[in-house]
Structure 1
């Protein structure tokens, strides 16, 4: 599935003619200036003209790890091509000198990757062309920030294989954003919750929404909607504690992004469904999205598979357009 409508925009990183969608920062890694992210689903968008290739360089930040992170490459409306980060070609070949839309997505990594303390995220040190033009583009619609855990990050969509079995580019968040021609801003980490820490040294959500890693403060990106899917990993905590934590978290998000609307998905395993219904009843400005009757299919009883992701995206898109109206998302 691909976006159908884009618009030109300004470059927002260290490379001319390139748009970085999601949470990225400039960081020197291995003595090289890079654009860096720890978030699966973070993407690069651009349009080429009068060139038949794109020069790329990604750093191998996990050289000693068993599983290599992967990126997904989309060119125009063609099926994706996946590469392990240490196997990305120096030149990405295009079919012709005609204009091409190129989208690169941080698609998969491993729970063993130390993204928080040891800079084992995705680092891009080169995106250039030898001739021709690069133009920064982005989806033409709203911006949606998805906050969650491994399900929202895109883990285990294809299979139970680290990195290769992940599909951040195909999970429910990606497909919902594409259906609405919206920017996909992903803030999600494996095993994380409101109170539980994630893998790779990642802290709980109240901290990771403010930081990209332990030393890099990251303001919440400008966004129109926030979609929250948290709680599946917090089941060891009491109802009272979690209800208090949800309210604090929603207040923090309103403070960080006062113009964004908050949309709360009940976790697919129905954790804290009753508590979220009480909170939504007491706070009518929150849009609660019920998920109890969604016939989701799973890879492992927890993580939606590709069919399940498609179903979730369809139901979530319907829920959002029903609540806000089709015209709200029109481009």
Structure 2
């Protein structure tokens, strides 16, 4: 986590000393109170003091799934730990009682997980330290960026073509861009979804999923400084003018939902609807800032989803575009 700077903040969930970054909500599942998310990339952040142990427990929301959800754990500047959520030990142990900065991210799941109708997202039911220790909530020190998109933005297929373990929401372009800019990462993205195309796991189209985290649960209110949209790849089978109209309607909805945010739109990396998006940017320059991507030398896992190297290339290019357009001082912390 060396790219990001962190500051102390208030806890914002069910557990003292923990900051939930992303779209988390308190829920009751299987008669247990949990913090719950359906979004890959959602994270919890904290600092431990005066303890060499952290107790945590995740609820098994997909007991019969072949590919279990995975989390990524970052401790200080050490390499990440990738674990299946249902196999996480009840305690993490550290070498010393010195303060430790910890970030836990929903890293991978499966397209078969019914996140919309059957509460098969990620649920954490307990996180604490022994009574001799302390947990302090922390968050990235900079701006807040909402990343809206499909599987590419969610972090699918970054490592390999295997569900869950092949995903890397903690390392995809959105995660890396946020860390380079010391920004909070609010991920709003689902596999296979689009403006007109439904996602996997029962997820509806983008105008619906930006407002809800499942079929009955409104998304928590956030006030991002920047919104970055990368969607349209899954809408290629629809007629271009119809999709262009849906883009415009969606951009207006996002402006109404996040009225204080700058709205940035990436041309999909496969250049789907590039012409239609350029036309909209010319017609509505006050509504969106269009970011061209055709010259970025992106590498892919499967020709569609950026791999780890491609994610790094996107993050470097995207962060530079944002710094140039809004000014380095805008992102300074």
- TM-score (norm. length: structure 1): 0.99
- Inter-partner Cα distance in structure 2 for 1:2 and 1:194: 36
Tell me what 2:9 maps to.
Answer: 9
> CA offset at residue 179 of structure 1?
0.1
Alignment of 1:84-123 (within 5 A): 84-123=84-123
For the residue of structure 1 that corresponds to 2:256, the secondary structure is helix
Q: State the shift of 1:239 in Å.
A: 1.2
For residues 70-219 of structure 1, the aligned pairs below 5 Å read 70-130=70-130, 131-219=132-220
**Aligned-pair CA distance for 1:220:** 4.7
Residue aligned with 1:216, SS? coil
In the alignment, the residues of structure 2 paired with residue 2 and residue 218 of structure 1 have an alpha-carbon distance, to the nearest angstrom, of: 30
Task: Give 1:218 shift.
Answer: 1.2
Any idea what SS the aligned residue of 1:102 has?
strand
Q: Which of 314, 326, 329 lines up with 2:328 in the alignment?
A: 326
In the other structure, the counterpart of 1:260 is: 261
2:291 equivalent in structure 1 = 289
Alignment of 1:240-259 (within 5 A): 240-259=241-260
Where does structure 1 lack aligned partners over 5 or more consecutive residues? none
Q: Distance in 2 between matches of 1:13 and 1:228?
A: 27
Aligned partners of 1:240 and 1:290: how far apart in 2?
20
Structure-to-structure mapping, 1:17-96, within 5 angstroms:
17-96=17-96
Cα 1:320–1:152 shift into 2, 3 Å: same
Is the contact made by 2:4 and 2:181 (CA closer than 8 Å) also made in structure 1?
Answer: no
Tell me if structure 2 keeps the 8 A contact 1:210–1:220: no
For residues 171 and 146 of structure 1, what CA distance do their matches in structure 2 show?
12
- Aligned-pair RMSD on alpha carbons? 0.8
CA apart distance, 1:64:
0.5
Residues 141 and 182, structure 2, Cα contact 8 Å, conserved in 1: yes
CA contact (8 A) 2:24 2:220 kept: no
> Over residues 145-172 of structure 1, what are the superposed CA-to-partner deviations in whole Å (9 max), with x where a residue is unaligned?
0000000000000000100000000000
Given the superposition, is the C-alpha separation of residues 221 and 97 from structure 1 closer, same or farther in structure 2, using an over 3 Å criterion? Answer: same
Residues matched between the structures, number = 331
Q: Which runs of 4+ in 1 moved over 4 A?
A: none
Partner of 1:82: helix, strand, or coil? strand
Partner of 1:222: 223
Taking the aligned partners of 1:306 and 1:95, their CA distance within structure 2 comes to 30
Relative to the length of structure 2, the TM-score reads: 0.98
> Are 1:209 and 1:220, in contact at CA under 8 Å, matched by a contact in 2?
no
Tell me how far 1:219 sits from its aligned partner. 4.4
Deviation of 1:217 (Å): 0.9
The one of 305, 308, 317 equivalent to 1:306 is 308
Q: Distance in 2 between matches of 1:33 and 1:140?
A: 29
Alpha-carbon displacement from aligned partner over 1:194-225 (angstroms, at most 9, x marks no partner): 11000000001000000000010114521100
